Amino acid sequence: MSKALDVRDLTVAYGQIAAVRGASFTVEPGEIATIIGANGAGKTTILNALCGLRDVRAGTVTLGGEDITHLPPHERVRHGLAQVPEGRRLFGRMSVAENLEIGGYARSDHAAQKHDLDHVLELFPRLRERYRQLAGTLSGGEQQMVAMGRALMAKPRVLLLDEPTMGLAPQIVDLVLDAVRRVNREGVTVLLVEQNAYGALEIADRAFVLESGEITLTGHGLELINHERVRSAYLGHEA
Ligand code: ATP
């Protein structure tokens, strides 16, 4: 079977400065994979390159066996890739319903969309309660659920999540990571970028450590939780 995502020798630069330098990694269908790394290591830059918001200087990105390296973002969505961006980027003055609707904009199968909307509301019952409320008035955790629901409305095969637990209280962090796991169990392959390394490693089938734009360590999430270098650099008091 094709890899869900295959990234080869990816280089992404801002002017003269390469923020991602020859990174290679693969994610198998059905996995939760995570990229952990310090502030500024290049995690967001990788996700933005994967979804087409940043030009790739060198290397290739293959999704389910298809080369998407130079496709525009909306084409990648059609090919089954959706992103939950850093900071959620909801339309705060639009309702939960409208935000979710926007997620399905690239689709023409309206009957199936209704079905997927019901499914999102089953996955996040809280959003059914908040359905007509303005997204900007929700709590951080609820907003994160709207952002995930919006991405799921594109019916992705691969979901990219950029720091979904950022700024959330510890109980809410668990709720969001649990939601990631549920989405994955529904068959969506996940690539999660986190500064909350412990939470991400706990749920990851495959994890990559990114340092200054290079992948320096790969392993199963639990394996890396016990890795001495990971513990001292990223887990601090949590481990
Ligand atoms: P964070 O956890 O802070 O989001 P990150 O691992 O996601 O960090 P990136 O945001 O991808 O890291 O940044 C990687 C490097 O690229 C950093 O050195 C950053 O300063 C630089 N960088 C990011 N965005 C830009 C930009 N628009 N212009 C120039 N340099 C940038």
Residue 51 CA to residue 198 CA, distance in Å, equals 25
Q: What is the pLDDT of residue 89?
A: 84
Please check the confidence at residue 127 and state whether its pLDDT lies above 60: yes
Nearest CA to ligand 1 atom 18: 40
Please check the confidence at residue 226 and state whether its pLDDT lies above 70: yes
How much distance in Å is there from the Cα of 118 to the middle of ligand 1? 37
Nearest CA to ligand 1 atom 17: 40
What backbone phi and psi angles, to 5 degrees, belong to 183? Answer: -60, -40
Give residue 104's pLDDT band: very low, low, confident or very high (50, 70, 90). Answer: confident
Pocket of ligand 1 (CB under 6 A): 14, 19, 37, 39-45, 195
Is the domain 5-88+156-238 a CATH 3.40.50.720 member? no
Q: Which ligand 1 atom lies nearest to the CA of residue 14?
A: 29
| Beta-sheet strands, E only, within 129-205 | 158-162, 189-194
Nearest CA to ligand 1 atom 30: 14
> What sign has the CA pseudo-torsion 99, 101, 104, 106?
negative
Mutate to test the pocket of ligand 1, among 16, 44, 54 (most ligand atoms within 8 A of CB): 44
Task: With H, G, I as helix, E, B as strand and everything else as coil, classify residue 32.
Answer: strand
In the chain, what are the domain boundaries?
Answer: 5-88+156-238
Name the pairing type of β-strands 32-36 and 189-194: parallel
Cβ atoms 27, 33 nearer than 8 A:
yes
Q: Report CA 190 to chain centroid distance, whole Å.
A: 6
Nearest CA to ligand 1 atom 1: 39
Please check the confidence at residue 237 and state whether its pLDDT lies above 90: no
Please check the confidence at residue 219 and state whether its pLDDT lies above 90: yes
DSSP state of 115: H
Residues 6+ apart with CB under 8 A from 212: 21, 41, 42
Q: How confident is the model over 9-35, as a mean pLDDT?
A: 97
Please report, as a single letter, which amino acid is at residue 11.
Answer: T
How much distance in Å is there from the Cα of 132 to the middle of ligand 1? 36
Q: How confident is the model over 208-228, as a mean pLDDT?
A: 95
Q: Token match 């495959």: residue?
A: 206
